[in-house]
Every structure is written in C-alpha cells, then in structure tokens.
Amino acid sequence: MDRRTFCVASSGALFGTAGCLEVVRDRGLRLGGVVLTNRRDDPVRVRLRITRGDATVVDGEYSLEASDRSGSGAAVNETWNGRVAQYTVAVELDSGTVESFTYTADHGHGECTVARVALRPSTIAFSSHRAPDGRFCSAPE
C-alpha cells in the first residue's frame, strides 16, 4: 500500500469513529470531591447538595468561618464512589441565595476532578481542578 492510500484509509477510519468518541465524552467525569471556600468577611452557613442524575449523593449543611484572606472552607469527598457521571453541585445560603452548576465531561481534569465552590463577597463561583495525587477518588468501577 502506498503512502497516499494509507493516509486516505486512516483518515476515513478516524472520522468514522467520531460519533463513538462523542458518546464516551458525554458520560461525564469522576467527581472526587467538592471544596467549599468562604472568601467573605462574615461566617456563613451553607447547604450543599450534590446530585448524580436523579440521585442525591450529598445533602448537608456546613458552617464556614469568616475569611482570613486564604478563605475558610470544608472538603467533602467521603460520600460517593467516584463513578463517571454528570454531577450537579448546588449551594444554598441562609440569605436564600441558591446557585448550582452541572459538571460534565467538559469540566473533567484527568482521572479525578475536584469541584470548587468559592463564596465571594458578591458572587458564588464554581470551578474545577485535577485532584492532587488522585487522593479524592476511589478506584473506578
């Protein structure tokens, strides 16, 4: 087989699997934990709810001290098994403010992703990062 024929055949095989790759990507990510951080000047009480599909995997309240420049916080990572899925993280403050964000495969970082929720003075910011040393995720199913 000459080089030109090989290139044409290879590109056809690659494009032929594009739809299959999209199905895998839509599956979600392995959420290893959620880190809540208070960057406000006053202490706050937060209700955290994490859902995987229709199932609630975390529903708890956390008291966070006032910020000391580095932010006070809580790490939640012991309640679920790190299964690949789409996860919705919702926070509710005593003031009645409710914000949520759904983490999909687009937000994944390597084998294990940690969601961050920062309570800033006037906003709630959601982000994600790679789990250090994979310590937040259990073994994959």
Torsion angle (degrees, nearest 10) of CA 55, 58, 60, 63: -140
**Domain boundaries of the chain, sorted by first residue:** 28-134
Are the C-beta atoms of residues 27 and 105 closer than 8 Å to each other?
yes
The per-residue b/e assignment along 105-114, b for 16 or more CB within 10 angstroms, e otherwise, is bebbeeebbb
Evaluate if residue 8 carries a pLDDT over 70: no
What's the confidence (pLDDT) of residue 35?
92
5 membership: H or E segment, kind and range: helix 3-16
Calpha distance 2→41 (Å, rounded): 69
Q: What is the mean pLDDT of residues 8-28?
A: 53
Q: What is the mean pLDDT of residues 113-121?
A: 92
Q: How confident is the model at residue 79 (pLDDT cuts 50, 70, 90)?
A: low
* Mean pLDDT score of the chain: 80
CA distances from 15 to 32, 105, 106 (A): 33, 21, 21
What's the confidence (pLDDT) of residue 108?
73
Closest alpha carbon to 34 in 67, 68, 69, 74: 74
Lowest-confidence pick of 31-35, 49-53, 115-119 = 31-35
Task: Classify residue 100 by burial, with Cβ atoms within 10 Å: 0-12, 13-18, 19+.
Answer: middle
pLDDT one-digit tens code per residue, 24-44 = 445 788 888 899 999 999 999
Answer with the residue of higher pLDDT: 43 or 2.
43
For 94, phi then psi, to 5°, come to -55, -30
Beta bridge pairs of residue 35: 75, 116
What is the CATH class of 28-134? mainly beta
Q: How confident is the model at residue 88 (pLDDT cuts 50, 70, 90)?
A: very high
CA 29 to mean position of chain CA atoms = 7
